[in-house]
Amino acid sequence: MRSHMPAFLLYLGVFFACIGLAAAPAACTKNQRVNTIQTSLVAVNVARDGFTAWDLQHQSAIVDAASSRDEAEQKIAAYKAARDPVIAGFEIAYRALAMAATQTDDSSLAVALKASSDLFLAVKQLRGGT
């Protein structure tokens, strides 16, 4: 039975990211900027924890459903190929947030928030496509 909990984590992440986006006016103060980055970081961390929990559960389900070693290995390999861009998305989002944390310009913050949003969509697509 597939649990809906990791999906909920993603929605929670998107929810917090939206709050971050809403709280980032074009020229926000230093404190608002830090708060926005922190909120986005928490959202990405929540999404990461939800994704890794789902990843283990999903791979386990693939192995449980397989009738031979070859079938299990092939399906796991195919899943990992689909998973790679999502892991790269987490790296991009974290890197963008780290960059925004050391800058003061609006564009680095916008890039970080967009990377976070793109990541949530990528994870959602992976779950929807499996």
Partner 1 sequence: MMSAIEKQVIQAAKAALEVVGDLAKLKSTDPRAAAVLAVIRGLAEAVASGFARKIDPKNLRKTIESARGEIRGVIAANDAAIKDRIDQKFPVGEPPK
Q: Which residues bind partner 1 (CB under 8 A)?
A: 1, 3-6, 8-9, 12, 15-16, 19, 22-23, 31-32, 34-39, 41-42, 44-46, 48-53, 55-57, 59-60, 63-64, 66-69, 72-73, 76, 80, 87, 90-91, 94-95, 97-98, 101-102
At its nearest, how many Å lie between partner 1 and the CB of residue 38? 5
**Is the distance from CB of 17 to CB of 43 less than 8 angstroms?**
yes
Among residues 60 and 125, whose Cβ is nearest to partner 1? 60
Per-residue tokens: 113? 């928030």
Residue with the two structure tokens 């929990």: 53
Determine how many CB atoms are found less than 10 A away from the CB of residue 129: 7
Among residues 88 and 121, whose Cβ is nearest to partner 1? 88
* Burial class for 104, CB neighbours closer than 10 Å (0-12, 13-18, 19+): exposed
